Structure 1
């Protein structure tokens, strides 16, 4: 290399020049060789001092930090500084690249809906994602380097961790007691553990609802089938009078109708859940809906209740319309009115109202003076087969699916179902439809637009 040749030349030059100067200075002396040796030593010393100075500058640059440029020397020390700086910059670039990749990796983990937690061989927490922190109730500043069993004390999780058999996940209630977690552990490295968490609250709830639904459907169908089977056996084996035979056939007809109503409601629910939302360009006259519901309601009541429809079907503006499916809307409204009649004692009042709010929303309101419902039951009323009283629906001829159908219909029309009730004072069910699905006046119908607030 050039700097090697230059350094040799410089060394030889210093040695020769020092020797020459020493010899010239001491040529009058008896032995001029000694001054020449001293001069050569001085030349070598100067070269050593120069090397020491260049080496010191390089060491100071390394000691104080390498953010600035390396010392710009020539020769060997310049080459060493350049090579050291290049190696350091390459390592820094590689380290920065790895940091960026690690950061992207952790960002990807944070984007996952599942939680991730890393533990060392002593089950101490090294790192966890925000989702895992939410699942376990952890805080980064407080809980890092803590043993996980000191923080997550669920007996199921502790037993799972201590057993060391991680083939299957473990399920337990999260530390906040607000949901169900599924946790799986995988070992890696030198005894380290990867903990994967998943919130399965909704999945467990759906599974519970599915089991309850199957059990309820089985029960609802088995009961009338048992009755029918008994009556058929009675007709086949016992001599009955004409009056008794008619009574048995009447009861059999009731049970058959009950099963038919149940199957019909189940098919309606299946159709609602499996079909697309009703279009916004199919307008249903409100007057026609009210006329159908009023006719059915008066037929069901047989004059036993005080029924009022406000406005009366004939007084609703002909342009008042709702965008959606007429069959579904009629089913939802009829279910509410029929329930109000069934659960209101004779002589009670059932009021059905239609109005458009100042915000342009359309509301169907069904109010009764029945027995009312306790507040704790209201959030679950729209669940399939949910009953406030186990015998109530059977006594009134209901299937336990009516309010579930109502909820599905109103949601499919982008609306809401509001329920209010007080024990001893009655209940009020309100279907609220958004302005985009409501026309309240002739002008709105002509413009083809929703009413303005």
Structure 2
């Protein structure tokens, strides 16, 4: 402020001094006054120009230096410039934090939609765009209810009871491939809402499978238990001859064996799902596996049929498989057992191990049974799924064999193949990758 006052006085004094020095009386005093007044106007004009420059700088919002020199306006400029730069740095930091926050929301596996007080879309991430079919250029600031016309969500939004979520179909949901979304609104701020969406299709399918599994297990166990209870009651209440009692006991033993087989298959599935994957360090001889399977197959065929089928086992190479011998034997014997159960006594079954040109190998079982209709093939590996339930139960099947085979194949990096036509028999195969197969090494 002192410099401002000093400059003002100086701008008056210098012209006045010059006028006093060069103008003679009687106009000396008037000239001196006029010169001082002119100096005041010049100082005021310069001061206004500097203020105008500062005002233009403020209007432009430019952070570049504008040289205003010292004085009041220079001091004001320096202080304002510091405040503006501090604000800009704070804005840049806030923008960076906002971008980090939005990037985190963008990376969220759940859909995130920000809605204003009127229910219009302010922002959404890519997951939400996939769930609801949104487009950032088209749907921003559109009302969410106009884009998602699900009656369940409309009722949920109108009720304003957001303590729970609502289940609705996703945008890509079809009858053949349903997609289920869990949508939950969370109010915040002044009327705004945070909408979270989560794809629960797998959870819903797992829950449906769990219900079906429990129902199937209950049904499968209830039937032999009913038979056993009936026979036990008969043996307890009626005097029976020795032959009749023996027949009842044989039937009871058959039902008990059926339940035992079912429990064993369930335990096998549970062990497959909960144990680590087989390593590639343990090698199993295919010749040994084939010999075990052949012995089991002939025993089962003799047990089920009065005239055993013609069983042919072929192996075009002496190979080894990397994996679990127990699991591999279970998968192979299940495929052979199914073929024996569904192939008539006067037909043949071909079991073959074949090495492929790429180094992989195929284990296949071809039967001459009734064949399978195309609509059943995709569901054959489902637990307890049977094409002919009565036939399967009569031959001792549990409905879990192909599910076990599928799990074993997946755990060994192999692929289960099914080829069948009604009236032309079936061919089941397990194709092993090259890294799981090697030529058997003979040690002398």
TM-score, shorter chain, exceeding 0.5: yes
Distance 1:205 1:223 in 2: 27
Question: What does residue 84 of structure 2 align with?
Answer: 88
Distance 1:153 1:307 in 2: 61
Question: What does residue 8 of structure 1 align with?
Answer: 5
Question: What does residue 222 of structure 1 align with?
Answer: 222
Distance 1:131 1:45 in 2: 68
2:368 is the alignment partner of 1:364: no
The answer (yes or no) to whether the contact 2:298–2:308 under 8 Å persists in 1 is no
Distance 2:379 2:95 in 1: 51
2:47 is the alignment partner of 1:41: no
Q: Which of 153, 158, 171 does residue 154 from structure 2 map onto?
A: 158
Cα 1:283–1:248 shift into 2, 3 Å: same
Question: What does residue 395 of structure 1 align with?
Answer: 394
Distance 2:57 2:37 in 1: 30
Distance 2:79 2:236 in 1: 107
Cα 1:328–1:69 shift into 2, 3 Å: same
Question: What does residue 432 of structure 2 align with?
Answer: 433
Distance 1:261 1:376 in 2: 28
2:273 is the alignment partner of 1:262: no
- Mapping of residues 137-152 of structure 1, within 5 Å: 137-152=133-148
Distance 1:392 1:32 in 2: 136
TM-score (structure 1 length as normaliser): 0.91
Q: Which string of whole-angstrom CA distances, capped at 9 and with x for unpartnered residues, describes residues 360-383 of structure 1?
A: 222211222322223333232222
Q: Which of 306, 310, 317 does residue 310 from structure 2 map onto?
A: 306
**3-state secondary structure, aligned to 2:389:** coil
Moved over 4 A (4+): none
CA drift at 1:240: 2.7
Question: What does residue 334 of structure 1 align with?
Answer: 333
Distance 1:345 1:137 in 2: 54
Structure 2 residues without counterparts, runs of 5 or longer: none
2:408 is the alignment partner of 1:409: yes
Distance 2:41 2:344 in 1: 119
| RMSD of aligned alpha carbons | 2.0
Distance 1:358 1:86 in 2: 77
Cα 1:25–1:158 shift into 2, 3 Å: same
Structure 1 residues without counterparts, runs of 5 or longer: 447-453
CA drift at 1:64: 4.1
Question: What does residue 19 of structure 2 align with?
Answer: 22
Give the total of aligned pairs: 435
**3-state secondary structure, aligned to 1:385:** coil
Distance 2:102 2:256 in 1: 62
CA drift at 1:43: 0.5
Distance 1:214 1:51 in 2: 91
- Mapping of residues 63-74 of structure 1, within 5 Å: 63-66=59-62, 68-71=64-67, 73-74=69-70
